[in-house]
Structure 1
Amino acid sequence: MKHTLTLSAKELADSLLLTWLKAPCNLLASVKNRITLTLFCGGFSFLFMYIFSPFNMNQWYEGGPQSVTGVFGIFALCGMAGLTISQFLLIRLKGPRPLTHIQFMAWFLGEAMLIAVIVNIVNVSIHDYLQYSWSEYTDTLRYAFGVMILPYSMALGWFYAAQLKSKTTEKEKETALHIRDEYDKLSLSLAPSNLLLLKAEDNYVHIFYLNGSVVKKELIRSSLKKLEPQLSGLGFSRSHRSYMVNLSRVILFKKNAKGHYLLIDGLEDVTIPVSTSYLSDFVQRFTPAC
């Protein structure tokens, strides 16, 4: 007796979340991203404190030995120092393996604690009325976390978007179809789905393709015999000794008094003959319209 395992939506979500938490996080693998993170968080934090004064921070230091702007600048530098220590010194302790997402979240909390330590030491040092205490540190940790979480998250989002874009670009490059002439010179690069039809004429091939929503035509010196091995595995097939079509673009396969023919989406005004030599392939794939 066969048993089928089914997961509820909650169980599936929990499983996916667990898988994601255990997956490696490579957003800060490059030195460039770590430098960008440090500079961006420092600059953003200063502007955020200066413009919005979260937690009414501007009122804490009015009349003190340092100007409010100066204090905010010092705090921003403390944050940058903490990130520099974390991202360029302490990170070496983890070894060559990347952090998982759950480890990265724990690392971020550790960075916030480190920055709070640095800010607390500097803050008490420049203000005589403050003293080192657990209460003072926890307050500093709460404020430091509140200030740095936004720029830190924004930077990670930026790196993630760039990573996705890079992967998409690489995928497009991998799947791009490169058509070369008889001298092996690159004539055209495009996605296979945008190539509609190839028509041979003497020593040339007319290539019909989509550029956006517009059908374009390119003439190259080559032959279908030369191009067929490259295209046959990508969903293209000869319908005639002079024609090769994108099978996914066929919208009509029909028989008339002269024989069978095809129509291609985007080239409805072009009648493409199907010769007897290639007819069986199309009969098996399509049902001829009457």
Structure 2
Amino acid sequence: MKSLHTLPLILKYTSEQPRFSLLDSVKNRITLIAFCSAFSFLFMYIFLPFNINMWYEGQQIALAQLFGIFTLCGVVAMCISQFLLVRIKWREKLTNATYLFWFLGEIVLITTIVTIVDVMVTDTLFLSWAEFVSTLRYTALIIPLPYFIALLWFYTREKCALLKTLEEVQQSADKTGTGKDTCLLIRDEHDKPVLTLHPARLLLIKAEDNYVHIFYMSGSTVSKELVRTSLKKLEAQLAASGFTRAHRSYLVNISKVVLFKKNAKGHYLHIEGLDDVVVPVSNTCLPVFQEHFR
């Protein structure tokens, strides 16, 4: 198992739309194409959807050969999409939601190639808009199922790998205790892992209704994560790592406090990297900071 020092400091699980990355791996792209082609061929050959066997009666080419040709057309189209067009710069900016438009483009590309080849190998068909639309309809009914089964498999495998990494971090943490060299695993109210990071990178936690805002260093920049949990729960977890309550709504990393001062309204703190955030210090929590900064 990897040591904590070789693990990434931060592993995030958010509800935001991330960049679509399931097909970044060449292996995943090859698997996608192979699965879609095998599924489509077997589906057409076994179930003969749309009475497809009656379309080509009287043709010299065997039905199995015809299905193989159609499958090869799909393979060619998806190879163009996944290995040539994928190099387009804006392709890298697609999110999980906007990738749907790329997929629709793949269906159109597959339909175009299948229509052209179909007209070439049969005597009764002619290249026309009606023929293209008809082929598009049937392609759109066959391709999505294997395509999204493959994507679901990639997604599940990716999340299982991340969860396994988090479990390894937690197991290491349980063995070494909750000292400053141990990564923290923050969970939401349903005990689902949300964020893993080193205590030294955690700056401030602010409560807001049933959520907390977690401010932490991600590289050289400050990031913020919204988690549905309670400040009280995190306070118990972080107490041994140098975190203390400054106010009923604030939990701070006391080692990151760069200014402790009093003004007309009372005492307040400034946290490293959070120049625009003023943390009030309540009278109840004041003795801890007076003792620390005297």
> Which runs of structure 2 are paired with 1:237-256 in the superposition (5 Å)?
none
Q: What's the CA shift for 1:119?
A: 0.2
> Hey, what does 1:255 align to over in structure 2?
none
Quote the Cα distance in structure 2 between the aligned partners of 1:173 and 1:79.
41
Deviations 1:12-58 (A, max 9, x none): xxxxxxx75x5322111111110100011001100000011111112
Q: Which residue of 2 aligns with 1:123?
A: 118
Q: Which amino acid aligns with 1:149?
A: P
**Structure 1 residue ranges without an equivalent (≥5):** 1-18, 181-190, 192-231, 237-290
> Quick one: which of 2, 13, 18 aligns to 1:23?
18
Q: Deviations over 1:125-153 (max 9, x none)?
A: 00121101000001111111111111101
- The separation in 2 between residues aligned to 1:66 and 1:78, in whole angstroms, is 16
Indicate the residue corresponding to 2:67 in structure 1: 72
Cα 1:93–1:67 change in 2 (3 A) is same
Q: 1:58 to 1:26 in 2, by over 3 A?
A: same
Give the match's secondary structure for 2:88: helix
Instruction: Determine the C-alpha separation between the residues in 1 that align with 2:239 and 2:70.
Output: 61
Aligned residue among 143, 150, 171 for 2:166:
171
Query: What does residue 89 of structure 1 align with?
Result: 84
2: distance between equivalents of 1:122 and 1:27?
31
**Equivalent AA in structure 2 for residue 46 of structure 1:** F
Alpha-carbon separation, structure 1, partners of 2:72 and 2:91? 29
Partner Cα separation in structure 2 for residue 158 and residue 68 of structure 1: 31
Q: Is the 8 A contact 1:117 1:137 kept in 2?
A: yes
Where do residues 167-206 of structure 1 align in structure 2 (5 Å cutoff)? 167-177=162-172, 179=175
Q: Which runs of 5+ in 2 are unaligned?
A: 1-14, 177-184, 186-235, 241-294
The correspondence of residues 257-268 of structure 1 with structure 2, limited to 5 A, is none
Aligned identity (percent) is 46
> What amino acid maps onto 1:28 in structure 2?
L
Of the two, which has the highest radius of gyration?
1
CA positional deviation for 1:164: 1.3
Counterpart in 1 of 2:259? Answer: none
Are 1:114 and 2:109 an aligned pair? yes
Per-residue CA deviations over 1:72-93 (Å, capped at 9, x if unaligned) read 1111111111100000001111
For structure 1, which segment, 110-119 or 56-65, has the greater mean C-alpha deviation from structure 2 after superposition?
Answer: 56-65
CA shift, 1:235, in A, is 8.9
What is the distance in 2 between the residues matched to 1:59 and 1:234?
70
One of 26, 34, 38 as aligned partner of 1:39: 34
Aligned to 2:48: 53
Give me the whole-angstrom Cα distance separating, in 2, the residues matched to 1:61 and 1:136: 14
| Rounded Cα–Cα distance in structure 2 between residues aligned with 1:136 and 1:28 | 32
Give the AA of the match of 1:43: A
Task: Name the CA distance, whole Å, in 2 between partners of 1:24 and 1:176.
Answer: 30
> Aligned residue pairs: how many?
167
Name the SS for the 1:26 alignment partner.
Answer: coil
Quick one: higher RCO (CA 8 Å, sep 6+), 1 or 2? 2
Task: Check whether the contact 1:26–1:98 (CA below 8 A) recurs between aligned residues.
Answer: no
TM superposition outliers: structure 1 runs of 4+ over 2 Å: 94-98, 177-180, 232-236
Which residue of 138, 141, 145 corresponds with 1:143? 138
